[in-house]
Chain A
C-alpha cells in the first residue's frame, strides 16, 4: 500500500495544474459563496417564524378566551424558541476553528454539534403535532375572527384535519428514522474517540 501511495505521490508531484490566477480565483469564488450562504434554509425559516410570532403578538388581544390565549402562548413560544435553538447549533458548527483545532477536536466538535442539532430536530417532530393543533384555532381567530372551538364541525373540516394528521405521522416517522441513523453514527464516532 505504502509503495503504491509513494508511486502515486511521485507521479502527481511531477504534474502542475494550478496557476497563480486559478489559486486566487478559488479563494475569491469561495469568499463570494460564503456571503451567498447566509440565505440558508434555516435562516429563511427563522425569519418566517419570527414574523409570524410578531404578527400573533401584535394581535394578541384578539385571543380573548383562556384556551385561545393558551394556544397563542404556545405558538409564539414555539416560533421564537425552536429557530433560536437551531441557529445556535449551526453557530456552534461554524464556530469550530479549523486553523487551530486538531483533527480529534474537530471531529468531537462536529459530532457534538450535530447531535445537538439532531436532538432539537427530533424534539421538533413531536412538538410540531402540538403546534399543528394550536396554530389552526389561533390563525382562524386572527385572520377570520372565528372561534374554531365554537363552530360546528363539517365533514370537510374534520376530514382535512385527519388527512394532515396522517401525513404528519408518516413524515415524522420517516424523519425520526433518518435522524436516528445519523445520530447513531455520530455517537459511534464519539465512543470510538473515548477508546
Chain B
C-alpha cells in the first residue's frame, strides 16, 4: 500500500515528463496514449527494484526512453488493443495558435532526428547537464558534447530550410 501511494505520487509529479517523451517518439495521439500507458506500466514493474542509488528523475528518464525505443521496434506489428481513454496534457492554450504552431514545428524537427539524436536533444532541452545526460544514456560526457554540437548544427540547417 505504501509502495502504491509512493508510486502514484511519483507518476503524478512526473506526468509532464512522460508526456514530452511520448510526444517525441510517436506520431499519433493513439500511439502516444499507448506508449504513455506502457511507460507507466514499466515504471510500476521496476518500482520495487529502484534502490534510490540514482536520482528519481534519472531512473524515470532511463525507463521511459528505453520503453520508447522498445515501442518503436514493436509498433509496426502491434496487435489491436484498446488503450485507456484519458486526456493528454495540453502544451498550448487553444487560443494561442502561434505557440501551438511553434511547438508543432519544434516537435517535427526533433522527430526527424534519428533515435540516438532524439534522446540526446530531449535531455538537453529538459535542462540536463552533459554529465547527467551521460549517466542516463551511457555515452561519455565528452561524447555527449560532440554529438550534441553535431545535432545543433543539423537542427540549425533544418530551421534555415523551413
Contact B63 A1 (CB under 8 A): no
- Please determine whether A103 and B136 come into contact, CB atoms closer than 8 angstroms: yes
Q: How large is the interface on B (under 10, 10 to 19, 20 to 34, 35 or more residues)?
A: 35 or more
CA distance A106 to B138 in the complex (A): 10
Assess whether A102 is in contact with B12, with CB atoms less than 8 Å apart: no
Q: Does B115 contact A (CB under 8 A)?
A: yes
Contacts of A100 in B (CB 8 A): 49
Contact B20 A17 (CB under 8 A): no
* Inter-subunit contact A102/B116 (CB<8 Å): no
Minimal Cβ-Cβ distance residue in B for A40: B79
Decide if A4 touches B103 in the complex (CB within 8 Å).
yes
With A22-B86, A110-B73 given, is the CB distance from A99 to B42 under 8 Å? yes
B38 interface contact, C-beta 8 A: yes
**Cβ of A17 and Cβ of B87 under 8 Å apart?**
yes
Chain B contacts of A102 at CB under 8 A? 62, 136-138
Bound complex: CA A107 to CA B106 (Å): 24
Q: Is the CB of B115 within 8 A of A107?
A: yes
Interface flags for A31-72 (1: CB within 8 Å of B; 0: not) read 101001100110000000000000000000000000000000
The 8 A CB mask of A139-181 against B (1 = contact, 0 = none) is 0000000000000000000000000000000000000000000
* B90: chain A residues within 8 A (beta carbon): 12, 15
Give per-residue flags for B77-115: 1 if the beta carbon is below 8 A from chain A beta carbons, else 0.
Answer: 101010110111111110000010011001000000011
A9–B20 CB distance below 8 A: yes
Min CB gap B21→A, angstroms:
11
Q: Which residue of A lies closest to B117 (CB)?
A: A192
B41's partner among A13, A27, A96, A99 (CB-CB below 8 A) is: A27
A84 at interface by CB-CB < 8 Å: no
Establish whether residues B19 and A12, one from each chain, have CB atoms under 8 Å apart when the complex forms: yes
Chain A residues near B45: list those with CB within 8 A: 27, 99
Residues of A within 8 A of B126 (CB): 5, 9
Q: A8-B103, A12-B90 given as contacts; is B84 within 8 A of A26 (CB)?
A: yes
Asked if A103 meets B114 with Cβ closer than 8 Å, knowing A1-B125, A30-B37, the reply is no
Q: Assess the B79–A101 pair: CB atoms within 8 A.
A: no
| Interface residue? A93 (CB, 8 A) | yes
Indicate if the CB atoms of B11 and A106 lie closer than 8 Å: no
**Chain A residues within 8 Å of B66, by CB:** 96, 98-99, 101, 103, 106
State the Cβ distance, B4 to closest chain A Cβ, in Å.
7
At the interface, yes or no: B56 with Cβ under 8 Å from chain A?
Answer: no
A29 touches B42 (CB 8 A): no
A98 in contact with B70 given A1-B155, A18-B12 (CB within 8 Å): yes
**Interface residue ranges, A against B (CB under 8 Å):** 1-2, 4-9, 11-13, 15-18, 20, 22-27, 29-31, 33, 36-37, 40-41, 93, 96, 98-107, 110, 114, 188-189, 192-193
Besides the known contacts A8-B20, A12-B89, A98-B70, 6 further A-B residue pairs in the complex with CB atoms under 8 A apart: A1-B125, A23-B11, A41-B77, A98-B63, A106-B69, A189-B115
